[in-house]
Amino acid sequence: MFYGLDAGVWVMDSGGRILVVNPRGAEIVRMPPERFIGADAHDLLHREADGSQQPRSRCPLLAAMAEGLPTRTQGAWFRRGDGSLLRVGWLLAPYLVGGEQAGAVVTFFDLSAQEEEARRRDAHLAALRKRAERLSLVSEVTTVLTSTLDVREALRRLVRLVAPRLADWAVVDLLGEQEEVLRVAVVHHENGRHVNVTELEGRLPDQLSWDSRSPLQRVLRGAPSLIAGPEDYAGVPDSAIQRVQGDLFRFTGIHSAVMAPLRGGRGVLGALTLGRADQEQPFDREDLELIDDIARRAGLAVDNAQLYDRQRRVSETMQLHLLTPLPRVEGLEMAARYLPAPQGSQVGGDWYDAFVMPDGATTLVIGDVIGHDLQAAASMSQVRNMLRAFVWDQREVPSLIIDRLDSALVHISDVPMATLVLCRLEGGGGEPWVVRWSNAGHPPPLVIEPDGEARFLWEGHGMLLGTEASPPRVDSAVTLGPDTTFVLYTDGLVEAPGQSLDTGLERLRQRAAGLVGRPLGEFCDRLLVEVAPEESADDIALLVVRVP
């Protein structure tokens, strides 16, 4: 049994000298059995982790022998016959002869296989943790890039995510419309904080060169992501941009960098450069693949944001043309405001209109086409222009003109449902001002008297436009005395999710009454600030007339 064990065993006397060893023990330590016989076990085998001789005073096996107690230990080091070290665990069992301790039996095990397995397991777990961290980073990048449509803000959030988790320097370059290179972000993570190095930002000299071998310009021309270093800029620069890049590497101390293209639906939009200066480990292929994935997501976000920005500029131009300049009418003060929907495209379906008729009467309109985007703006433009034509041509009471408009919208346009209030304002020259109106499903006008009494004009209310129903519409009229204020508005001013319309109307009535003594421009501005719901998702149009 002693000789057939799959563990090393030796028997030693009370002085620690080996009397016999089994074949497996000699095999484990790579020594012939005769080397063991008579040898001092401590001197022959025991070593420190660095291979040096272990002091006898620190030998756990000699200490166990002295105590005469069974002892087990893990993690001792034995010196093999070839000079290599072996990690072992051992068990010492004293034996008695004539009632006195005569020596001990030592059984030892090779732990190297277990340690190798532990190393493999640790390496596997480390790889899993690293992959989980990188997946988490990609998820965070996706979240921050899709949470805003502002290009600069999206890129600012991006570089603060990747530094210092992937690099301590982050640089973002964008291509302009004339192939100029705009360095929009240079961020360094140092001492636990992000520092914007603004002196390195701005437009790079000259345009993108199609002949340069500079890594950045190759990436901007469509090359795959690549790893670069100072050696790529060691020679004579072949372009102005390459010279700037060489200066960047020298200024930052970057020793390893990844440059990845920001690709969108329209091609390469720019490049993301991550550099390591304070982090000693250079980038590898795994880093390259991860940064390429991040840059691909960033490119799509930049593309979407730029498309949105162009649409917003178009929308703003449309808005300038669609929102009518107010006419000057003797004996009246007029003011108007337009507040776009927070999540819209800066223009929508709400509008106001005011113009003077040939007979001297003033037409006032407030309206709302469903939606607050470019489609709603286009529909609103159709409604406004058709209504203007009917008002100018027919010169009828408001209710009949709204009937004509309703019929035309249903049959010759694709405009969805809409609401409006059409008013005809007459007077002046010593005569009282009278406003006659008809309401097509719109929130009621508000009249505020000089003493602060405010009331809604619910009269003249009828069906909204676009339903194909044809109930009779009615007109109503009210006289506006001196210092009376007449307010037309769209529902974005009084409606909010989770709030009743009555609550919004009452808030408008009370605040308008409290502000009626203010100059008309200030009255409008404060009304928007104090009445418009913060959580409103709709645009707001406001048209106010005051008899001075």
What average pLDDT does range 495-504 have in this prediction? Answer: 88
Given CATH 3.30.450.20, say whether it is the number of domain 8-110. Answer: yes
> Which segment of 117-121, 350-354, 445-449 scores lowest on mean pLDDT?
117-121
Q: Which amino acid is at 206?
A: D
At residue 319, the pLDDT reads 61
Topology alike, domains 8-110 and 323-546: no
In the predicted model, is pLDDT for residue 288 greater than 70? Answer: yes
Task: Note the pLDDT of residue 355.
Answer: 95
Q: Which of 414, 177, 407 is nearest to 306 (CA)?
A: 177
Give percent above pLDDT 70 in the chain. 92
Rg of the chain on CA atoms, in Å: 42
Which residues sit opposite 39 in a β-bridge?
A: none
Mean pLDDT for the chain? 87
Quick one: which H or E segment has residue 398?
helix 398-412
Alpha carbon distance 330, 107 (integer Å)? 114
Written in H, E and C, the secondary structure of 84-129 is CEEEEEEEEEEEEECCEEEEEEEEEEECHHHHHHHHHHHHHHHHHH
Q: What is the pLDDT of residues 65-110, one digit of tens each?
A: 888 888 887 678 899 989 898 888 888 899 888 778 888 999 888 8
What's 44's DSSP letter? H
Give the C-alpha separation, 541 to 420, whole Å.
12
Q: Is the pLDDT of residue 345 over 50?
A: no
Give the pLDDT mean for 310-326: 70
3-state secondary structure of 285: helix
Architecture per CATH, domain 123-311, reads as 2-Layer Sandwich (3.30)
Which residues make Cβ contacts (< 8 Å) with residue 213, sequence separation at least 6? 238
The CA distance from 409 to 382, in Å, is 9
Query: Which residues 6+ apart lie within 8 Å of 312 measured at CB?
Result: 345, 346
Q: Quick one: what percent of the chain has pLDDT higher than 90?
A: 47
Q: How is the chain split among helix, strand and coil, in percent rounded to 5?
A: 35, 30, 30
> Which of 37-41, 132-136, 148-152, 421-425 is predicted with the least confidence, judged by mean pLDDT?
132-136
Residue 363 pLDDT more than 70? yes
Annotated domain spans of the chain: 8-110, 123-311, 323-546
Answer whether 186's CB lies under 8 Å from 163's CB: no
d(CA 135, CA 145): 15
The class (CATH top level) of 323-546 is alpha beta
Which pLDDT value is given to residue 305?
78
User: In what helix (H) or strand (E) does residue 533 lie, and over which residues does it extend?
Assistant: none
Of 154 and 22, the structure prediction assigns the larger pLDDT to 22
**Whose CA is closest to 391, among 368, 410, 415, 364?**
364
Q: Has residue 344 got a pLDDT over 60?
A: no
Tokens of 514: 């409290």
CA distance 352 to 503: 24
Tokens describing residue 263: 């690709």
Q: Identify the pLDDT of residue 342.
A: 64
Q: How far is CA 522 from CA 69, 74, 336, 453, in A?
A: 96, 84, 11, 19
Structure tokens at 485: 């204020």
Backbone angles phi, psi at 427, to 5 degrees: 135, -160
The answer to whether the beta carbons of residues 363 and 499 sit under 8 Å apart is no
Rounded mean pLDDT, 99-123 = 80
Pairing type for strands 431-440 and 461-462 reads parallel
Q: Is the Cβ–Cβ distance between 545 and 486 less than 8 Å?
A: yes
Crossing angle between the packed helical segments 374-394 and 285-322, to the nearest 10 degrees: 10
Average pLDDT value for residue range 409-423:
86
Pair type for strands 202-207 and 180-190: antiparallel
